[in-house]
Amino acid sequence: MTAAPRTLYDKIWDDHVVHQAEDGTCLLYIDRHLVHEVTSPQAFEGLRMTGRKVRAPEKTIAVPDHNVPTTAGRDKHIDNVESRVQVEALDKNAKDFGIHYYPVTDIRQGVVHIVGPEQGWTLPGMTVVCGDSHTATHGAFGALAHGIGTSEVEHVLATQTLIQKKSKNMKVEITGSLRPGVTAKDITMSVIGLTGTGGGTGYVIEYCGQAIRELSMEGRMTVCNMAIEGGARAGLIAPDEVTYAYCKGRPHAPTGEKWDAALSYWKTLFTDEGAHFDKVVTIKGEDIAPVVTWGTSPEDVVAINGVVPAPSEFSGGKVVAAQRSLDYMGLTAGMKLTDIKIDTVFIGSCTNGRIEDLRAAAAILKGKKVAPGMRAMVVPGSGLVRAQAEQEGLAQIFLDAGFEWRLAGCSMCLAMNPDQLSPGERCAATSNRNFEGRQGRGGRTHLMSPAMAAAAAVAGHLVDVRDVMGVDA
Amino acid sequence: MDKFTTLTGIAAPMPLVNIDTDMIIPKQFLKTIQRSGLGKNLFDEMRYTLEGQEIPDFVLNQPAYRQAQIIIAGDNFGCGSSREHAPWALLDFGIRCVVSTSFADIFFNNCFKNGILPIILPQDQVDVLMEDAKKGANARQTVDLEAQTITTSDGQSFGFDVDPFRKHCLLNGLDDIGLTLEKVSAIDSFEMTASAARPWV
């Protein structure tokens, strides 16, 4: 029998179907369920009310990240009552239901999407879900990973499955190599700039091509992290030697014979020659420039050496939306991006809070100072990233430059904790969403790579990192 | 979950594209550990000033739309975060149906878990419903899930698609978990087979 060629998504899907109904609705088995404090309390409450248990506590991992302050003393007391109640609820739920837990007192605590891979919970070929849209991050390992709502969190807790219909296959190929000063963040933002925030709706994206292969695991996680911003259910990158090397030796990665068995399975996880994609997007790596967002949607992407667009350049409902964005952002069409002054810099998040991101930012900041009056903070993605950055001397570079060196958490990416923008403040951010009010009501967000954010902190305005690095645009 | 069969109600026009979940329910309201009570904060930052006063121009503050049960929305409604607080807030306000040309995936799923019907229609039909909704409180639209139709205040009717399983669950107010647990033996045997094939998982 000759099997039809399958995509990587097809293969992972097929290996997790528990039951398929006549109309194509499937029950899909979930290998890893990540849990945080904001989207889980109602789900655990649902279990209690119905007398249900967590079906597979050994496959369920919880960590508080969204609400937690990133300043010292948080392990003893959280001032905000509601935040404290949510974190305490997770403490209790983790204990009552016997799931793996990394409390704020544990050095391994951090942003859930950084902790999962770091601890070896996320491995190739797995299905991974979490009540958080940026679960797409884990697709970097060739794991089928996506966000779910709280009702689905409860469903997975109770049954270790999800009711799913299969998405369509989309291929995003980045050919050739990136030019100096261009990063994984610029790839993923450029793709969204091209396809729009709805361009991936109904699809699972597989990112491929030489420029993707040349990325580290950290970079691949940045790319997949923002698949959701393009509307896709998930993003995937086929595992390779880079993936295996990252996984090997992680606390929850297999060892010995199990490692060998895993490795031989992982090596089957690629898209077969001739497999069908319903949509294909191809971008030349050398055409990608360092980019920033100008508006209030992640699709509002322009090259840093460009200008703020005019609403008339768009069509349909986007014309009105673009004008609304300009008004909200306090910008006028035609102004140069590099003339936009900023007062805040945020480096961190599940998009760019890993060690490589901190290295890239520190390389720009070494021996320099942030512009006068600048509020700049680094929030490492996990306690372990923080410790490693301290060991490598990066923390000192940030501190010498005038950055605050914070504890791990989601922080100003979504501003549920005390780290927020005030109305009118303008932030160069390495996070993933520039929605109205995302970082604080009235706050203005420009998304970019860690190196670009660091360069902006020094200049006091948006700046082309290639000028700072002395490389050609 | 409440059943959804038919609904006749006021439709509020919200033509803005890419209405995201941060707009629908800003993060400061995600700190609750309950599902109820979020309706007063639906679209909070579009609906109230910093001082907490209603912004009169916002559609749901206008007398005609304060009792709206349907939203006719621009493209890509519900993009952004996975927060189920978005449909909880809509439901708590009284919204049972949202119509758009497209929805973000996770938001779309979350609606069905909460008895809210998201309807996808082509642009020209959304345009007709939008114009009808702009007529105000006298313009009541009717949604019939069994028949899969939505009808304007002046009787113009459009058919829509809905996944048969989800339709069944909405019509009967069924709890997904209960249905899945009926297949527990299939889950058991999957786990046996999978743990033999992939013992490292």
- Domains of chain A: which residue ranges? 8-166, 291-469
**A8-166 and A291-469 agree in CATH topology:** yes
For residue B198, being part of any structural domain is answered with no
Q: Does A450 touch chain B (CB under 8 A)?
A: no
Rounded to 5°, the CA angle A467-A469-A473 comes to 45
Confidence at residue A2, expressed as pLDDT on a 0 to 100 scale? 65
For residue B195, being part of any structural domain is answered with no
Nearest CA in chain A to B14: A317
Q: Is the dihedral of CA A189, A190, A194, A195 positive or negative?
A: negative
CATH at residue B168: 3.20.19.10
Facing B22 at nearest CB: one of A198, A265, A438 = A438
Q: Does A168 touch chain B (CB under 8 A)?
A: no
Looking at chain A from residue 145 to 164, which residues have their Cβ under 8 Å from any Cβ of chain B?
Answer: 146-152, 154-155, 158-161, 163
Confidence at residue B1, expressed as pLDDT on a 0 to 100 scale? 84
In the numeric block, which tokens belong to residue A236? Answer: 């995937």
> Which secondary structure element, helix H or strand E, spans residue B70, and what is its range?
strand B70-73
Q: What are phi and psi of A443, to 5 degrees?
A: -75, 150
Average pLDDT of adjacent 10-residue blocks, chain A of 473 residues: 88 98 95 98 96 97 97 92 95 98 97 98 98 98 98 98 97 98 98 97 98 98 98 98 98 98 98 98 98 98 98 96 98 98 98 98 98 98 98 98 98 94 97 97 97 98 97 87
For residue B199, being part of any structural domain is answered with no
Structural domain boundaries enclosing B28:
6-174
Residues of B in contact with A416 (CB under 8 A): 27-28, 30-31
**3-state class of A145 per DSSP?**
strand
Residue/partner pairs of B183-186 with CB below 8 Å, 24 or more apart: B183/A18, B183/A19, B183/A27, B184/A159, B186/A18, B186/A19, B186/A27
Q: Which residues of chain B have pLDDT under 70?
A: none
Facing A155 at nearest CB: one of B74, B82, B180 = B180
Residue from A13, A34, A134, A151 to probe the interface with B (highest B Cβ count within 10 Å): A151
Confidence at residue B175, expressed as pLDDT on a 0 to 100 scale? 84
For residue B30, being part of any structural domain is answered with yes
Q: How many other β-carbons are positioned within 10 Å of the β-carbon of residue A163?
A: 23
The binding site of A for [4Fe-4S] cluster comprises: 350, 410, 413
Strands A161-164 and A26-29: antiparallel
CA-CA distances (angstroms) from residue A424 to A73, A443, A460?
30, 5, 16
Fold type of domain A8-166: Aconitase; domain 3 (3.30.499)
Q: Does A89 touch chain B (CB under 8 A)?
A: yes
Query: Is B6:B146 a contact under the CB 8 Å cutoff?
Result: yes
Residue from B79, B108, B111, B168 to probe the interface with A (highest A Cβ count within 10 Å): B79
> Which secondary structure element, helix H or strand E, spans residue B87, and what is its range?
helix B85-93
For residue B194, being part of any structural domain is answered with no
Facing A19 at nearest CB: one of B28, B34, B186 = B186
> Which secondary structure element, helix H or strand E, spans residue A429, and what is its range?
strand A426-429
For residue B183, being part of any structural domain is answered with no
Q: Which CATH architecture has domain A291-469?
A: 2-Layer Sandwich (3.30)
In the numeric block, which tokens belong to residue B103? Answer: 């929805």
Residue from A38, A50, A84, A318 to probe the interface with B (highest B Cβ count within 10 Å): A38
ipTM above 0.85, yes or no: yes
Facing B18 at nearest CB: one of A50, A154, A197 = A197
Confidence at residue A472, expressed as pLDDT on a 0 to 100 scale? 87
How many whole angstroms separate alpha carbon A292 and alpha carbon A230? 16
Q: How big is the A-B interface in CB pairs under 8 Å?
A: 191
Do residue A435 and residue B20 have CB atoms under 8 angstroms apart? yes
Confidence at residue A473, expressed as pLDDT on a 0 to 100 scale? 83
Confidence at residue A95, expressed as pLDDT on a 0 to 100 scale? 98
For residue B193, being part of any structural domain is answered with no
The CA distance from B163 to the nearest CA of chain A, in Å, is 9
Counting the structural domains of chain B, the total is 1
